[in-house]
Amino acid sequence: MQPKRILVALAGTSADPDVIRLVAWVAKPAKAEVVGIHVIEVRWNLPLDAVMEPELDRGEELLESAKKVADQAGLQLETELLQARDAAAAIVDTAVERKCDLIVVAMPYRKRLGRVYVGRTVQNVYVNAPCAVLAYRQEENK
Amino acid sequence: MTDDEGKNETPETPSLEDRTTKSGRLPGNRYVKLYRAPGFRRRGDRYVADEELLESASRLGRAYETVRRFLLGRRLSMEAEETERLSVFTGLAILGSDNISSSAYATEEAMRVLALAGMGAFVFLTPIAIAIVGVLAIVILSQSQVIQAYPNGGGSYIVTSDNLGTMPGLVAAAALLIDYVLTVATSTAAGVYAITSFVPDLQPDAVPIGLAFIALLMVGNLRGVREAGLIFAGPTYVYIFALGALILYGIFRIVTGDIPPAAVPPNPFPQEGEMSLAGLAGSLLVLRAFASGSVGLTGSEAIANGVPSMQKDERRHATITLVLMGATFAVLFLGLTYLAQTIGTIPDRLEAESLNSLVTRSLVGMSPFYYLVQGSTAVILALAANTGFTGFPRLASVLANDRFMPRQFAYRGDRLAFSFGIVALALASALVLAVNQGSVTKLIPFYTIGVFLAITLAQTGLVRRWRRLRSPGWQWRAMLNGLGAVVTGLVLIVVLIAKAPEGAWLIVLIIPLLVALLFSIHRTYMRTQDALVIERLDEEVPLMRAPVVIVPVGRLDRATARAVAFARSISPAVRAVHVSTSEESSREFRKRWDAWAGRVPLDVIESPYRSLVPPLLKYIDRIGERDPDKPITVVLASFVPHSWWEWLLHSQTALRLKASLLFRPNTIVIDVPYHFDEDREDHRHDR
């Protein structure tokens, strides 16, 4: 598979730099366009377009650092900041809007009740995305 | 804010951020796209401009940026100010180097005066040195009071103007500004003198070497105070330890009875002097020697002036640095004086070799240690100039904030240094150095007057402050500062009397002139402020009448069409005016204009003398006179070529006209630029 447009979902976890390097490795030979998005989830007691300064600042910062990592990896990364009730739906909708043929999601290694835990967002993207999905799970010792 | 159709929301006034609500694939799935202009970060109700906005897009700009970054380092944000502070270690090097380095030449300056009465007069050397150290002790105690009273950076100017009034404050400021310039010039000259003492071949190039030193210091200081501290700390400590070791070694040899023979300078003073020590003339000579040796007291005010540049707990750090500085100076100065007198060293009449060099040569010969002492002396003398670079820009910024100096002095450069003040100081001191041919002896008479005047005024101001506040312990504080004021005042009088014939009178003349200049700058600013100030914030903004718009047109082209279109968008009263040099060209232009679809009323002026701007200016005057209440707006079409050199090929009439209209009252000048690239773009669309 030679993806032409890749969407990478960034959550601000320690897995972000790894997944950007991975995307660079996939995208560069295919000369694919890459867009990195971060979705701010809005609680139901707030309007969808509520101004949430701390989250915005954090979002901008993490996208900025993602750009730096991408620069170092020789990847041109376009970034976008979104606000939605459900991050997974927004990721899938953006991928559809942008005609992406691959969504890359990352998850840090974490356990709940003794089992490796895959978050709700990753699961929902997997289930609902019409395009290919690549999930990157961080290795255990990180 | 929302748009269920997924269309972009278009705000009426473009802003730096935008929120567009989009619908997803499934019913009810909506998300908001957040757009923020790159380079601007939101912080509450404001935007913060990022460093990336300062990056130049042009090749020339990027090259300049690379050179700038190499010389000055990367830009620092205001948040980095906390880190741009001095510790005691770097503070002693940066703020104390002027005072400490004075120990290298203070003894020689006193000896050169005493030598006029013959070698016998050197018996007064030790009492004079002790008196100077005594005065320094009083000054340091008094300055520590300045630090306690004005932890936010008093400096003599603030202390004096706060307690004695604006005029005395400005006298102190003027005196200090002059003194900082002289500090840089004198220290640099002394540094070069130390170099030429052991490399005599360099003597003819003393001035260029001095100027290079000043340029180096300027660049070092433009890199910011912390970095300057790190750069300059090394040489200061090498000097302290090298000279300290020399003094200890000298004392050891004297105590063990192994007194070396004194090295002979190339041009020694004669054994018998031309003056007598008897009577009034003799007393005056001793006073002159004391005055000359008092150069060692310069720089003692630098720490009190620069308290805000110290690390947190500024008062404590500044006081420790002040005491360390005084103690270091006293040890080195007394040590060198003792060695010179005990060994019997005579200074050089023609300044071919410094006393410091002679004493070192007597003790260790031309060994590597001699070169270490001389090298470190040369460097610290040049670096002592750095005290001026720390003091002058800071004082100038305070004066600029009080509107006594141009506002540019208050702006901080990329590295948080007061760049304008640093460059101004470098230029002024380079001029002084060049005019005096880099001679220490020529510069010394001008030196010290300013600093003693400023210290005396500040001490007097503090006495008044303690009396006014009457806080616990005010009596002993007032007494201490009173003693400081009396002692420094007396030294000032002695220095003035002793050095007046050598040119010190010039400083007495310059200080009032500088005060008058500062006052006139202040008056100008105040006049401007009075004219511009909005007295009531609830006052309605008056509605302006639509202006009379005049569009000077040289030819009918795309740039003119755009300017006319813009003119019509701001007022219905638009007139175009064309100046032609012949009847035929007038007719030709009129014909084309009348045929043009976007026309507005046109006046054609024939100028048989081929002059363009004066007839246009007169035309604007006459139109303005018809309705003086309406502002005149001149819309200028200007073509912006692709590159700078193409710009030279155009006549720049718009630029000349703009310059002529700059000071015309009730006139608004609007430039409508037309870029070469737009031109190409338009052509492409036409095809």
* DSSP letters for B215-277: HHHHHHHHT-HHHHHHHHHHHHHHHHHHHHHHHHHHHHHHHTT-PPPPPPPSSBPPSS-SS-S
Give CATH for domain B86-527. Answer: 1.20.1740.10
Hey, CA dihedral for B3, B9, B11, B16, is it positive or negative?
A: positive
Single-letter code of the amino acid located at B372: L
Gap from A115 CA to chain B (nearest CA, Å): 31
Chain B residues closer than 8 Å to A53 by CB? 42, 44
- Helix residue ranges per DSSP H, B596-675: 613-626, 644-647, 653-661
Gap from A86 CA to chain B (nearest CA, Å): 8
What's the pLDDT at B333?
Answer: 92
Whether residue B32 and residue A49 make contact (CB cut-off 8 A), yes or no, is yes
Chain B residues closer than 8 Å to A7 by CB? none
Retrieve residue B167's tokens: 């005029």
Whether residue A93 and residue B25 make contact (CB cut-off 8 A), yes or no, is yes
Retrieve residue B387's tokens: 């005290």
Gap from A90 CA to chain B (nearest CA, Å): 6
Single-letter code of the amino acid located at A118: V
CA distance B596 to B170: 65
Q: Which residues contact A119 (CB under 8 A, 6 or more apart)?
A: A107
Gap from A98 CA to chain B (nearest CA, Å): 12
Gap from B33 CA to chain A (nearest CA, Å): 5
Count Cβ atoms below 10 Å from residue B244 Cβ, excluding itself. Answer: 14
Searching chain B, which residue's CA lies closest to the CA of residue A61? B41
Whether residue A94 and residue B31 make contact (CB cut-off 8 A), yes or no, is yes
Whether residue B33 and residue A82 make contact (CB cut-off 8 A), yes or no, is yes
Chain B residues closer than 8 Å to A81 by CB? 33-34, 36
Q: Where are the domains of chain B?
A: 1-50, 86-527, 548-686
From the list A49, A86, A96, the residue facing B19 with the nearest CB is A49
Whether residue A93 and residue B41 make contact (CB cut-off 8 A), yes or no, is no
Give CATH for domain A5-117+133-137. Answer: 3.40.50.620
Gap from A12 CA to chain B (nearest CA, Å): 17
Count Cβ atoms below 10 Å from residue B683 Cβ, excluding itself. Answer: 10
What's the pLDDT at B423?
Answer: 93
Single-letter code of the amino acid located at A56: L
Q: What DSSP character marks residue B201?
A: G
Gap from B52 CA to chain A (nearest CA, Å): 12
Gap from B42 CA to chain A (nearest CA, Å): 7
From the list A49, A53, A86, the residue facing B1 with the nearest CB is A49
Whether residue B30 and residue A48 make contact (CB cut-off 8 A), yes or no, is yes
pLDDT tens figures, B380-392: 877 778 778 878 8
Whether residue B34 and residue A57 make contact (CB cut-off 8 A), yes or no, is no
Retrieve residue B400's tokens: 């600029």
Q: Where are the domains of chain A?
A: 5-117+133-137
Searching chain A, which residue's CA lies closest to the CA of residue B6? A97
From 2.60.200, 3.40.50, 3.30.70, 2.40.10, which CATH number describes the B548-686 domain? 3.40.50
Q: Residues of chain A whose pLDDT is less than 50?
A: none
What's the pLDDT at B277?
Answer: 64
What's the pLDDT at B322?
Answer: 92
From the list A57, A81, A89, the residue facing B24 with the nearest CB is A89
Q: What is the number of CB-based contacts under 8 A between chain A and chain B?
A: 55
Give Cα B418 to chain centroid, integer Å.
Answer: 6
Whether residue A80 and residue B22 make contact (CB cut-off 8 A), yes or no, is no
Chain A residues closer than 8 Å to B30 by CB? 48, 84-85
Mean pLDDT in each 10-residue stretch from start to end of chain B (687 residues)? 43 75 87 82 74 75 79 68 75 84 85 82 87 87 83 79 90 90 86 78 83 88 72 84 93 89 82 68 78 76 80 87 93 92 85 85 89 86 78 88 90 78 93 83 74 86 88 85 85 80 80 94 91 82 85 89 91 90 86 82 85 87 84 87 73 80 86 73 50
Supply the DSSP string of B44-93, one letter for each residue.
Answer: TTEEEE-GGGGS-SSHHHHHHHHHHHHHH-S---GGGGGGS-B-HHHHHH
Q: Which residues of B touch A (CB under 8 A)?
A: 1-2, 19, 21-22, 24-26, 29-34, 36, 41-42, 44
Gap from A141 CA to chain B (nearest CA, Å): 35
Chain A residues closer than 8 Å to B31 by CB? 39, 48, 82-84, 89-90, 93-94
What's the pLDDT at B1?
Answer: 39
ipTM of the complex model: 0.90
Q: Which residues contact B307 (CB under 8 A, 6 or more apart)?
A: B147, B150, B151, B152, B153, B154, B314, B315, B318
Contact B570, B633 (CB under 8 A): yes
Whether residue B42 and residue A56 make contact (CB cut-off 8 A), yes or no, is yes
What's the pLDDT at B241?
Answer: 92
From the list B1, B31, B42, the residue facing A84 with the nearest CB is B31
- Chain A contact probe: residue of B34, B40, B53 with most A CBs at under 10 A: B34
Searching chain B, which residue's CA lies closest to the CA of residue A85? B31
pLDDT tens figures, A77-118: 999 999 999 999 999 999 999 999 999 998 888 888 888 888
Single-letter code of the amino acid located at B261: P
